[in-house]
Amino acid sequence: MADISHTVHVALGERAYDILIGPNLIDDAGAILAEKFPGRRFGIVTDTEVAKAQLPRLVASLEFSGPTYSTITLPAGESTKSWEHLQTVVEGLLAAKLERNDIVIAFGGGVIGDLAGFAASITRRGMDFVQIPTTLLAQVDSSVGGKTGINSPHGKNLVGAFHQPKLVLADLSALDTLPQRQFAAGYAEVVKYGLIDDPDFFEWLEANHAEIFAGGPARGEAIARCCAHKARVVIEDEKEIGVRALLNLGHTFGHALEKDTGYSDRLLHGEGVSIGMVLAHTFSNRLGLAPGQDSGRIAAHLRKSGLPTTLADIPGTLGSTETLMAAIAQDKKVSRGALTFILTRGIGQAFIEKNVEPAKVSAFLEEMRGA
């Protein structure tokens, strides 16, 4: 019997699904999948790091419960979200003779979830898929909501599709093997939910930070609260034509920084979001929208979590302000060339601001580069 401590339902009509959260769910995955999807075969997509740390548990579970499976293993890292590796996954699923009613399992962090989900959306004109996220970032954010895709040389996540999973299994025990840096990067996305519209949650994180990092009960509660928050937003705005854009707080700056650092280990996605959230609050202050002390409070909490908060925290040399602005101009929220940012009036008061003047953004980045 699976030990499920939290269940979050994503009510999307015929595309509805559950997020199951609890310890050792990878070990129970075979039984859960066999019961929910009888007679289906599974194509596991994972990366080399997850294959080493977690794949034996999933394979043992599937073999014990009986489902037939095949495995596609890719290199670890953000650079895997590419055309080349998308083709590898699609061709691997076809070579395994998986049929349209079989299921792709995205087994890994956000990179694998995005890539495998996109591959599922286009293989045989659409296969079902299941998310088994193994990082904190994936469990609280990228595995929920149906955004799938790959990066382009022009920018991050510019190629993809909305394709909802059939089930999400968030195994809390998988997080115990994460390097501290990876866990901290995921925690930036946890903090984001408080900063958008839930100041009480941000205050709760400040009080329960140590227990979340230590793996106590607060960890599962934090993940469940984040998933419930995202589920509410996705139900209201599945295709991101309105309020769902708020979930990109910190991401416009963060994605530009990720592109500038070559989608490499110089800057993990969550680290870019961490810096981006501080920049978004500081920029809002410069525009006269938000109190300056909020930026300091947020930065202090993120630093306590081992996260970078300034441009100077990024190893190596950044490209020019013009280069960063070119990346920002390719952001998915750009409309008819006008810049759209998620700004804020304070902690828990984020809002969508369209037609932000590029000159003001450029001047702000210049200021931050010299700070």
Q: To 10 degrees, the CA torsion angle through 314, 318, 324, 326?
A: -140
Instruction: Give yes or no: 230 in active site.
Output: yes
Task: Look at strands 17-22 and 339-344 and give their pairing.
Answer: unpaired
Instruction: Give yes or no: 189 in active site.
Output: yes
Q: What is the secondary structure of 292-336 as a DSSP string?
A: HHHHHHHHHHHHHTT---SGGGSSS----HHHHHHHHTT-TT-BT
Instruction: Give yes or no: 304 in active site.
Output: no
49, 151, 156, 189: the active-site residue: 189
192, 255, 259, 301: the active-site residue: 255
Task: Retrieve residue 362's tokens.
Answer: 């450029």
163, 219, 230, 301: the active-site residue: 230
Q: Are 185 and 269 in contact (CB under 8 A)?
A: yes
156, 248, 259, 301: the active-site residue: 248
Instruction: Give yes or no: 281 in active site.
Output: no
251, 259, 281, 301: the active-site residue: 251
H helix intervals, the chain: 25-36, 48-53, 55-65, 83-95, 110-122, 136-137, 180-197, 199-214, 217-236, 251-260, 269-286, 292-304, 321-328, 358-369
Cα–Cα distance, 89 to 339 (Å, whole number): 34
Residue 79 Cα to chain centre, angstroms: 15
Instruction: Give yes or no: 14 in active site.
Output: no
Instruction: Give yes or no: 147 in active site.
Output: yes
Cα–Cα distance, 345 to 328 (Å, whole number): 22
Instruction: Give yes or no: 251 in active site.
Output: yes
- 103: enclosing H helix or E strand: strand 103-108
Instruction: Give yes or no: 303 in active site.
Output: no
Instruction: Give yes or no: 125 in active site.
Output: yes
57, 163, 192, 244: the active-site residue: 244
Which residues have a catalytic role annotated? 125, 147, 189, 230, 240, 244, 248, 251, 255, 269
